[in-house]
Amino acid sequence: MIAKRWMGGVVVAGVLAGVAGCSTPPAPRAAPGPTLGPQVRPTQQGTGAGPNRNSPAPEATPAEKCPEGGVRLVETGGDAAMGLRVEGFRLVNCGTEPYVLEGYPEVSLRDDRNDPLEVTVEHGAAGITTGVPNIDAAPQRVTLAPGQAASWSVVWRNLVTDATVAATTVPVLEIAPRPGAPRLWLRLARPFDLGNTGKLGIGPWTAVAGR
């Protein structure tokens, strides 16, 4: 199974403060993973189609070049604490026409060979954590004028719950912003380190104020 559907706004510092106060069962040990990095990271830009399966991802698309479909996917950064990860993304309308979004992006997770990873992708943070408003927000219709952007976020736990199951790392994210749209992909500046939880939560599209 590739992934089930299941990610909202740019992550804010208050997100993890809310998470830390929640009542959760004793956490298994955290799997080794990256430490908190800067809030905005350079990314590989979405190109519409994934790379050849046996070839590395190409370099980032120049900012002035708009991918097929008229939108560009950008990684905006995130936060981490006690094995909990939250990462933010932005979709920018770099085309010349309004772009309408509704609900959630369709997400596919890929390995270094661009092969699908068997990870459950669900809408919202249920089963992972609580108190992440931008991920548990209700879906809404978002219309992007040229130059405007929408954001969405993902959440997961970097845990090893079974030493006999290999940990999963996700280096490539692929999405369809809306049904029938060209798929966008990017190589993550900070790969998703899922441990062996096999689960990722996503939030809905949220309009970003300004341009």
Q: Tell me: the pLDDT tens digits for 48-85?
A: 444 444 434 344 444 568 999 999 999 998 887 778 99
More confidently predicted of 74 and 47: 74
Q: Is 149 exposed, middle or buried (0-12, 13-18, 19+ CB in 10 A)?
A: buried
pTM above 0.75, yes or no: no
As beta bridge partners, residue 73 has 91
> CA 159, CA 199: separation in Å to the nearest integer?
11
Digit-coded pLDDT (tens) for 132-171: 888 999 999 999 999 999 999 999 999 988 888 889 999 9
Give every CB contact of residue 26 below 8 A, 6+ residues apart in sequence. none
> CA 45, CA 61: separation in Å to the nearest integer?
5
